[in-house]
Amino acid sequence: MYQSSIPSFLPVMNSQQQLSAIYPDFGAMSQSVVFSMLEHWQSTSFFDRLADISYFVSVQDLQEIPADLHTSLSGSRIVLCVPDELCAEESNHAKLNNIVKSGFRIVTDQLSAQTELRWTDARHVAIDCANGVSFNCKPLITRLSGGQHWAKQISSSIEMEQAKQAGFTLFSGDYAFNPPAKNKSADSSARTRLLKLLGLLSRDADTDELESLIKQDPTLSFMLFKLVSSAAFNQPVRVSSFGQAISLLGRRQLQRWLQLLLYARQQEQGGALNPLMARAAFRASMMEAVFQKLGASKDDLDGAFMVGMFSLLDKLFGSALSEVLQPLQLRDDILQALLYRSGKLGQCLCLVELADRTNSIALYEQSRLLELDADSYYDCIFDAYVWVNQVCRDM
């Protein structure tokens, strides 16, 4: 059964660009529907898949929050985002304090950087930075040292750095899609090797050819051994050669992680991951999850994963997507999906592109076009973020 609308799920990242929280954007849904949906997810163990991730939930009416909310939702997982104008009303302070005592965190939301906090027990704030990061943010955040402070709607990598300097610890917005110009052409030789490796894998080249190319790149060699040695693969043997590493990993997994390394190789200063990597990982995993719901074959699942992963290469390299993809000799349906959003793959990519952005009616319409019911959509979202979380910690 379809709902009249479905939420999108925006990633909230920490300063290292690891997944820290998820913000379900419920759009115009009523607060009672929102809390019913949260309780449904709790009862179906959705939250258990991401045990270390918080969920930010916007609150518009404190009086609609039941006094026994802690009996139906986990206060350690749900963070209530309450507008500053409600926090400022003295008549709400007792209610706010009781919510905190029951185990929930409260973020003072929709706060202006010029505003003085009038709820004295405020510990965490969220500021909309759609119009830039105000110089007044830093002194406000400094007074609240020790809290988790969220910069929302960051639109560029420059604003992302400004928000970090101001003292914010959590970040969301479209900044990943607007990388600094200097990064777009960085490390072109590494890009060429990775694309060549992916081309070799696509034509099932000999292991010797793969090994020879990997050996030319010390960083790529290190990442391969690190991946095979990681807890995620739980290999019981010590790896002593490149051929053995490729064999243990398997070509299918090698291809997927090389796709991811296209993004990981373009890291920002300070050791943080490239913000594009998490967004590409989300698209790839959700594309695969949706196609699995649609009953696709193994080859089609691989194609869906690849479409999601490659859909942001134009942002990464600052070149037309057709130019970046040219060396890979991809299947025609994959190319058509990436370049023109055509076919079932293209329809799925349209859905996935909307699923981690600000909510719109187009998201619901696209889910109906794919005949994906609400619970299946939520399954795909949670599966995708599980993989994003793993990637952010393993890379």
Chain segment 37-61, per-residue pLDDT in tens: 999 999 988 898 888 899 999 999 9
Q: Do 124 and 147 meet the contact criterion of CB atoms below 8 Å apart?
A: yes
Fold for the domain defined by 8-179? TIM Barrel (3.20.20)
Average pLDDT, integer, range 4-13: 92
Distance of CA 370 to the CA centre of its chain: 22
Q: Say which residues have a Cβ less than 8 Å from residue 256's Cβ, sequence separation at least 6.
A: 284, 305, 309
Q: How many other CB atoms are found less than 10 A from the CB of residue 315?
A: 18
CA distance 135 to 167: 11
- pLDDT, greater one: 295 or 195: 295
The full set of domain ranges for the chain reads 8-179, 187-264
Q: Do 26 and 4 meet the contact criterion of CB atoms below 8 Å apart?
A: no
pLDDT of 384 over the 80 cut: yes
Share of the chain above pLDDT 70, in %: 91
The whole-number pLDDT of residue 154 equals: 97
Which range has highest mean pLDDT (115-119, 174-178, 197-201, 246-250)? 174-178
Chain segment 330-373, per-residue pLDDT in tens: 889 999 999 999 999 999 999 999 999 998 899 999 999 999 99
Distance of CA 121 to the CA centre of its chain: 31
3-state secondary structure of 365: helix
- Which of 226-240, 275-289, 333-347 has the least mean pLDDT? 226-240
Chain segment 60-94, per-residue pLDDT in tens: 999 889 889 999 999 999 999 999 999 999 999 99
The whole-number pLDDT of residue 165 equals: 94
Nearest of 148, 74, 46 to residue 386 by alpha carbon: 46
Query: Which amino acid is present at 106?
Result: I
Q: Say which residues have a Cβ less than 8 Å from residue 62's Cβ, sequence separation at least 6.
A: 82, 86, 92, 95, 96
The whole-number pLDDT of residue 211 equals: 86
In this prediction, residue 107 has a pLDDT band, given cuts at 50, 70 and 90, of very high
Q: Do 38 and 47 meet the contact criterion of CB atoms below 8 Å apart?
A: no
CA distance 331 to 226: 31
pLDDT of 185 over the 60 cut: no
For residues 84-94, one letter each, b for 16 or more C-beta atoms within 10 angstroms of the residue's C-beta and e for the rest, the string is bebbbeeebee
Q: Say which residues have a Cβ less than 8 Å from residue 134's Cβ, sequence separation at least 6.
A: 113, 114, 127
Average pLDDT, integer, range 125-149: 92
Direct distance between the N- and C-terminal alpha carbons of the chain, in angstroms, rounded to an integer: 39
Q: Do 248 and 228 meet the contact criterion of CB atoms below 8 Å apart?
A: yes
In this prediction, residue 232 has a pLDDT band, given cuts at 50, 70 and 90, of low
Chain segment 206-219, per-residue pLDDT in tens: 888 888 888 877 77
